[in-house]
A and B are shown apart, each in its own frame.
Chain A
Amino acid sequence: MSVSQAQPVVTAMPPHKVLTQSRERRREARFGLGMIALSVILVAVFTAGPILASFVLSFFSWDVISSPKFVGINNYKRVVSDSSVLHSLAVTLGLGIAIVVLQIVFGLILAVLVNQRRGNTSRVFFRTAFYLPLLASSAAVSIFMGYLFDAKFGVINYYLGLIGISNVPWLTTPIGAMVTVVLVAVWQQTGFTFVLFVAALMSVPTDVLEAAQIDGAGPFRTLLRIKIPLISPTILFAAVVAMINSMQLFDQPYIMTAGGPGNATTTMPIVMYRAGFQNLQFGFGSAIAILLLAVILAITGLQFLAARKLVFYQ
């Protein structure tokens, strides 16, 4: 008699035990649903609902005060032909890419340096110090950064003046404003990528590192050939999240430069805010929001496509 002909044990379970198991499963299901209910409700109310509402609104002309008028795809026609929206898309992409690249590079450098430190206390100190800016309100950060970078009375220009560099127009020239916005965003956001990279580097198997060392690889070669490929899934995750955040850049340019000078730092969220809340064109503003959502989805998709070739999964 072959083994495969053996009867399954489950079928032999007595009826009262089947009933108990079924009750147990229902209880677990209820518990599971209860655990995720709050998240589902919050996502539905504060994320899915507004997205759906924005999508519906994008087909209407509505100034919030009078009754909305259905205008079909007119808002979308306007979005794709409005030079200020298209310019803001270019600005958002440019600033976003710069912020993400710098965030990844600085996050990685800092993580490598901190991981090389032997003392646990100093590691904890640096981890906390680099992560702290992320906890601060970006509006508050933007206000005090605006003062620091002010060309007339800013502390940064004061110290630069002491070494012979005078009156750097940080916020009053297009290039200066873009650089400042990127620097401030990178300063505040790098803590996020830094913490991810610290954790990822710590999980790199020591036997692989030891093998590389025995084979004569130096620290830089080990970083490039061993550590970075092994943490590439984390780099992909960090890049995707950072890009999504950067595409929604609002506080820093709105507070520090008011989107200027001219519209040099006017991002899509600023154009969207102005359209909706200042000019009371909520339909048009919603169409910009939907376009921004589509752009973010497309970029994220591209990042995942590129990851197929660049990311190494163990």
Chain B
Amino acid sequence: MNQFGSAVSRRSLLQAGGAGLGLAGLGTLAGCSKGSDSGSSSGTFKMLYFGDQKSADALKAKLAPEVTKLDSKVTLEISAVNGTDWNDFFAKVLTQIASGTAPDIVGVATEGVQLMASKDLAIPLDDYVKKDMASMKPYFDDVHPSLVEAMMYQGHLYELPSDFNCGNMFYSTKLFHQAGVAEPGPNWTIDDFHNAVEKIAKIPGVNGFDWVVRLWGSWTSFMYANGGNLLTESKFSGGDWLWGTAYAGNAAAAGRGGGYQWGAPTANSPAVVESLQYLIDLKKAGIAPSPDVGGGGTLQGLFASQRIGAAIGGGFWAGGLHNAGMAPDSFNVQFFPKWKSQRHLFGTGGYAIFKSSKKKDLAWEVLKVLAKPESFDIIAPGNVTTSAHKSLATAERYASTGPKNWKVFYDTLTEHPDTGPIPAPPYYNALATALNTRTTQAISTGDAKGALDGLQSDLEAASKAT
């Protein structure tokens, strides 16, 4: 029980703040999630987008006619939010909400789904999906259920996945050949990987392997393959309303629940420690350099410059490497190597409707447009991510960008059904900060166990605070 009594109203707090105009500005936020008129039309329809304003403007130019078709009185506005990674993005989105400028919809990846849902910022899409189940059936037929399950929280669906990325292994065909290493097959192991990067690292000026410090596709990929996780993994109950209808008869949907439930931290368990220590040992052996913290743009640049033998990447690397000037046949991709298992991690993206939106019905219609296969190249042109639609995984799509083995992007979900989403609980921001801090600590000290003991404490405190 709180010894200081019950919550006070915002009005009281503002009065207590007196001249606290900054507080008054922040205070408007709490009103954002109160009350709405879902049928309201006319005015501006606001969308937040993770990226630069130039890309947001390009998207707006293509998407605006679609929105106008849905409601001619509405003007589409897309605001870009920049950041080095998703935690940066969410910090800025929450600041925008605090300033009283909550959008109608926001692009959110796995990292933020539970954060948005648990804070009651986004609305469940259950009723809309049920209402439009007949017209939505082709969508669900084309999208793997594991992606949909990753967008659920406590039995409710919060987003329609539009894209995803599994943590596969990209490699330089040129450096593999130069080092006399055979290109990996789908069943390669951690030992095969080690032998390959060890030989490549002997080429002057080249690192056998490189990586970035973040939650997706970092040492965490090794952790998943090694059978570990940062948090205890289970599923929420519920979701039958979706699995029993949209995925009826689909074997891949069997055993699905109401979203991932992230429980007690297990950050210093033996499998997790072993995974991080393996990466530290790669650095000590001169096979991998100290990694950067962040989204991985620099890593792609180094890979494209043929200075890295192998690196973890998803489908978004295809477009990234192509844009960095890499020829389609100078690199390739393979499943992540098998350690104790060949479990991959993935992240998926989509759009959520803000609870404060006064245009929820329109927002749902826009979400349906964004989830259509034909919208994918409008939202993400040039293979800068992987479409959630199986039908879009085609040779034609990757003909100009590569890689040759593009099939692994979607096949990871089907060939390795134990593949799961990154552990992104409601306290994702605190988790990401602690993970980055403790990972860089481990690299600088060379002691994975000590750093992960610290991470365990950080996560226990964060989960308790939540």
- Neighbouring A residues of B451 by C-beta, 8 Å: 262
The answer to whether B444 and A264 have CB atoms under 8 Å apart is yes
> How extensive is the interface on chain A, given as a class?
35 or more
Digitize A28-72: 1 where CB-to-B-CB distance is under 8 Å, 0 elsewhere.
Answer: 000000000000000011001110111011001001111111111
- Neighbouring A residues of B10 by C-beta, 8 Å: 67-68
Q: Which of A50, A54, A71, A172 contacts B443 (CB 8 A)?
A: A172
Flag whether B381 is at the interface (Cβ < 8 A). Answer: no
In the complex, A259 Cα to B292 Cα: how many Å?
A: 12
In the complex, A71 Cα to B1 Cα: how many Å?
A: 12
The answer to whether A44 and B19 have CB atoms under 8 Å apart is yes
Q: Which of A52, A68, A282 contacts B20 (CB 8 A)?
A: A52
22 contacts between A and B (CB under 8 A): A52-B17, A53-B20, A64-B29, A65-B30, A67-B9, A69-B6, A71-B4, A151-B290, A153-B298, A172-B290, A172-B440, A172-B443, A174-B444, A258-B440, A261-B441, A261-B443, A261-B444, A262-B441, A262-B444, A279-B462, A279-B465, A280-B94
Flag whether A260 is at the interface (Cβ < 8 A). Answer: yes
Nearest A-chain residue to B301, judged by Cβ: A153
Binds A, one of B228-236, B262-270, B430-438: B430-438
The answer to whether A49 and B26 have CB atoms under 8 Å apart is no
The answer to whether A169 and B20 have CB atoms under 8 Å apart is no
Q: Which of B119, B302, B437, B465 contacts A260 (CB 8 A)?
A: B437
The answer to whether A56 and B119 have CB atoms under 8 Å apart is no
The answer to whether B2 and A69 have CB atoms under 8 Å apart is yes
Flag whether A225 is at the interface (Cβ < 8 A). Answer: no
Digitize B436-466: 1 where CB-to-A-CB distance is under 8 Å, 0 elsewhere.
Answer: 1110110111000001000000000010010
Q: Taking the nearest CB of chain B, how far is it from the CB of A79, in angstroms?
A: 14
In the complex, A105 Cα to B118 Cα: how many Å?
A: 53
Q: Taking the nearest CB of chain B, how far is it from the CB of A108, in angstroms?
A: 34
- Neighbouring B residues of A280 by C-beta, 8 Å: 94, 119, 429
Nearest A-chain residue to B121, judged by Cβ: A65
In the complex, A261 Cα to B389 Cα: how many Å?
A: 40
The answer to whether A266 and B437 have CB atoms under 8 Å apart is yes
Digitize A234-270: 1 where CB-to-B-CB distance is under 8 Å, 0 elsewhere.
Answer: 0000000000000000000000001111111010000
Q: Which of A56, A72, A74 contacts B13 (CB 8 A)?
A: A56
| Interface secondary structure of B, over-half rule | helix
Flag whether A173 is at the interface (Cβ < 8 A). Answer: yes
13 new A-B contacts at CB < 8 Å, known A49-B22, A70-B5: A49-B20, A53-B26, A57-B17, A60-B8, A64-B94, A65-B32, A72-B3, A262-B441, A263-B441, A264-B444, A274-B433, A279-B430, A279-B465
- Neighbouring B residues of A48 by C-beta, 8 Å: 19
- Neighbouring A residues of B365 by C-beta, 8 Å: none
The answer to whether B19 and A52 have CB atoms under 8 Å apart is yes
| Interface secondary structure of A, over-half rule | loop
The answer to whether B21 and A64 have CB atoms under 8 Å apart is no
The answer to whether A258 and B293 have CB atoms under 8 Å apart is yes
Digitize B13-42: 1 where CB-to-A-CB distance is under 8 Å, 0 elsewhere.
Answer: 100111111111010011011000000000
The answer to whether B433 and A53 have CB atoms under 8 Å apart is no
Nearest B-chain residue to A56, judged by Cβ: B17
Nearest A-chain residue to B16, judged by Cβ: A56
In the complex, A177 Cα to B90 Cα: how many Å?
A: 27
Q: Which of A174, A261, A277 contacts B95 (CB 8 A)?
A: A277
Given contacts A69-B8, A281-B465, contact A53 B440 (CB under 8 A): no
In the complex, A88 Cα to B440 Cα: how many Å?
A: 16
Flag whether A117 is at the interface (Cβ < 8 A). Answer: no
In the complex, A281 Cα to B207 Cα: how many Å?
A: 41
Q: Taking the nearest CB of chain A, how far is it from the CB of B118, in angstroms?
A: 10
In the complex, A280 Cα to B95 Cα: how many Å?
A: 10
- Neighbouring B residues of A63 by C-beta, 8 Å: 119
Flag whether A77 is at the interface (Cβ < 8 A). Answer: no
The answer to whether B8 and A70 have CB atoms under 8 Å apart is yes
Q: Taking the nearest CB of chain A, how far is it from the CB of B429, in angstroms?
A: 4
The answer to whether B120 and A65 have CB atoms under 8 Å apart is yes
Flag whether B154 is at the interface (Cβ < 8 A). Answer: no
- Neighbouring A residues of B440 by C-beta, 8 Å: 172, 258, 260-262
The answer to whether A282 and B436 have CB atoms under 8 Å apart is no
